[in-house]
Amino acid sequence: MKKLTMPPLALALLVVSMLAACDRGDGDGMPAQTQLVGSVGGAPFDPTLSPDGTRLAWSQPVAGQARIHVGSADGSNPVMLSGGTYDYDPKWSPDGRWIAFFGESPGFDLWVVSAEGGAPRQLTSGPGFDLPAGWLPYSTGVVFHRQGAGVVQTLVAPIDGGEIRPLVANPGGNQIGMPSPDGSRVAFELRRGSEATIWVQDIAGGPARQLTTEGLETGSPVRKMWSPDGNRLLFASRRTGTTDLWTANVETGELKQVTTDVRNDREHSWSPDGRRIAFVSDRGGKTDIWIVSSEGGDAVRVTDDLALESYVGWYPDGSSLYFQRFEQDGALGVTAADGEPRLLVQWPGYQIAQRMTTLSPDGQTLLFVGNRSGNNDIWSVPLAGGEAVPFASSPLEDQNPQYFARRAPGGVRFEPDRLLRRLGHAGER
């Protein structure tokens, strides 16, 4: 069976000076970008900076697998921390001592490893997918989202291996939440059917308060909802017909629209002082990074290229952003038996989720996730080459296509599962 890879030099982790971006006027050019981690041995992805800004963690393919790495803030002196089949999505503990991550082997579970090295420890063992979201404020436990059987729960795995428990009581629905910076409250996106709303709840107990009612919101990425002072929540909403960024005052419930554009704004991240918001948008016709005042106003463009930027984060002093850049716009690659890589699918101007690919058991067909139809849908393409065709599409965001075994006359055949919905729709078919 052929091994799937991304095209060489497909991804890079970069940093850009935000001081230059904020001080310039429109038309003065883009600030210089510096590459932190190259793609020697495989393209890096999922960058995350330590709380003190001195170290960078990321995942990177090694011999056809993916491992967690840690290095200096500039990506130098890399050290491999994990040895699983496919490990990714690292999350630093607030004290900088630990890194939680998602491991696909043996069972799509949550792991933790010392940032200084050592043997990783498995914190969960299913059922379902256990995806790390962040940590409790004092590094005592990992907050994660368990997806399975059409249900999403927000749970806590104690770092000492204690009993797994819900983060807060669930008012009914698919709950995707994170605690406030001081640990006193929890904000969460609640999905009921196709509707998603934003809620807040005291972590010590008591009723949950609903802050939005339109059902068109998304708190993702949930770990970046809370403002640094814990007074506001940042979320995306389609209530105006396009995806814009909004804030909600936690105490009063007052809503404020932060961005207004005919294109979609997403992947938001508060600056450390809470005065600015970095986000990814396809405004201008390309997927780039922008920043805007947290009170709203005109957005300033940070990147302007044909690459696709994502995973945006701030340095602790607010002077720079780090982010992931997909260099080869909308492309999938394969490595043939002779080891020579070649392009399989190339969609200029559209995004393909590089990790969300599944090869059929007979090695003939590849399922992947792409947004060519306007949102993330599942597509199918022959591995030998040919036109990609839609396999599963819907108004919702789809991810993680899989194959399953079905008993049939003459034996067992493998068929593609329709899809696993994004977070609140995991397991729907």
- Write down the pTM of the prediction: 0.77
8 Å CB contact between 26 and 388: no
| 415 within a domain of the structure (yes/no) | yes
CB 344 within 8 A of CB 352: no
Q: Which two tokens stand for residue 171?
A: 């008012």
Give the count of beta carbons closer than 10 Å to the beta carbon of residue 40: 11
CA distances (Å), 281 to each of 181, 223, 310, 357, 359, in order?
26, 19, 10, 24, 31
DSSP 226: B
Specify the number of domains making up the chain: 1
DSSP 317: T
- Residue 421's pLDDT is 38
The answer to the question of residue 333 being in a domain is no
Residue 142 buriedness (CB in 10 A; 0-12 / 13-18 / 19+): buried
Q: How far is CA 23 from the centre of its chain?
A: 29
Both tokens of 88, joined, read 């990714």
Is residue 36 assigned to a domain?
A: no
Separation of alpha carbons 88 and 101, rounded Å: 6
Task: Identify the residue whose tokens are 């490893």.
Answer: 113
Residue 258 lies in a domain: no
For 4, 66, 67, 275, the CA distances from 63, given in Å and listed in that order, are: 11, 8, 10, 43
Residue 47 covered by a domain: no
Residue 143 lies in a domain: no
Ramachandran class of 104: left when φ > 0, alpha when ψ lies in -120 to 50, beta otherwise:
alpha
Which residue's entry shows tokens 């997927």? 287
Provide the 3-class DSSP secondary structure of residue 164.
Answer: coil
d(CA 113, CA 121): 6
Residue 22, pLDDT score: 52
Nearest to 278 by CA among 103, 92, 12, 31: 31
Start-end of H helices in 82-171? none
Judge whether 103 lies within some domain. no
Q: Are 365 and 381 in contact (CB under 8 A)?
A: yes
Say if CB 364 and CB 381 are below 8 A apart.
no
CB-based contact 370:348 (threshold 8 Å): no
- Token pair of 244, please? 């814009």
Q: What is the pLDDT of residue 1?
A: 33
Altogether, the residues listed in the chain come to a count of: 429
- The 10 Å Cβ neighbour count of residue 273 is 13
Closest listed residue to residue 5, CA positions, set 41, 57, 48: 41
State the Cα–Cα distance between residues 133 and 429, nearest whole angstrom.
25
Report residue 228 CA to chain centroid gap.
20
Q: Is residue 419 part of a domain?
A: yes
10-residue mean pLDDT profile of the chain (429 residues): values are 37 68 51 69 82 93 85 90 93 97 92 97 90 94 92 95 93 94 95 94 92 91 89 95 95 96 93 96 88 96 84 90 74 60 72 70 79 80 85 69 55 45 34
Contact 234, 274 (CB under 8 A): no
Q: What is the DSSP letter of 40?
A: T
Structure confidence at residue 25 (pLDDT): 43
Dist. CA 158–CA 107, nearest whole Å: 19
Tell me how far apart the alpha carbons of residues 58 and 268 are, in angstroms, rounded to a whole number: 19
DSSP state of 199: E
- How far apart are alpha carbons 375 and 351 in whole angstroms? 10
d(CA 78, CA 58): 10
Angle at 97 between CA 91 and CA 98, to 5 degrees: 40
Helix and strand totals (H; E) in the chain: 1, 39
CB atoms under 10 Å from CB of 366, counted, come to: 22
Domain coverage including residue 403: 338-425
